[in-house]
Amino acid sequence: MRVPLHPAGGREIALILLLFGGLAAIAFGFVLAGFAWFWPIGGLAILLGGGGVLFFRDPERTPPTEPGIFVAPADGKLVEATALDHHPDIGGPATRIGIFLSVFNVHVNRSPCAGVVRTIRYEPGQFLDARDPQSSSKNEANTLVIEPDEPMGGPVVVRQIAGKIARRVICTLKVGDRIEIGQRIGLIKFGSRTELIVPGHDQFKIVAPMGKQVRGASTILARRQPLTEPVDTVRQT
């Protein structure tokens, strides 16, 4: 039976259980000794410890089977869809779609499509608030360039970006790996931002509502547009 917690959080989970479990044990020890007012401390320790462990939850997801789609690469709020004149990993015009992950969201990242990993690049940087658009270019990040299966066209880029609280980006893939839509690709610890960057300005229609929550591997983020139907789908921020 699979434990629904991401293995990359093993060290943090152990520390959380040791710290808050120990605090709860001490508090309830005082309660048994007659100091009833230690009950709230013990209860708070259990709540905080449970919340810390739940941060690393890793639920199973079943991606949609509809052809010509990109699914959300992360849980969180859709905060940005910006037209870029040029993106170096795309090799031309592109559209950047940004998702903000709060500490309450699942932080496992997923592949937006089926394809092959062509590049993985770690970029050290700052730790600006992940809701700040400047975090895209200034924060610590991990960039994956994926060559999607036909007929999606590509390449496409997924960027795992550390936030003000997040201090570690985990990628579980290597160059040359074959990945399926919705497959786990890594984890960002404690609040962050995930971006999907797709080619062009009208090749894909963003169908998820701006400002709303999306679910990694489950929410359809964008659909490929017919070549005969140019559509202006990019929201400027």
d(CA 44, CA 63): 37
Beta strand 213-214 with 92-101 is unpaired
Q: Are 172 and 185 in contact (CB under 8 A)?
A: yes
d(CA 101, CA 188): 9
Q: At what angle do helices 39-54 and 10-32 cross, to 10 degrees?
A: 170
Query: Of 136, 137, 192, 218, which is the active-site residue?
Result: 192
**What 3-state class would DSSP assign to 217?**
coil
d(CA 84, CA 159): 15
Catalytic residue list contains 136: no
d(CA 222, CA 224): 7
What residues are labeled active site? 192
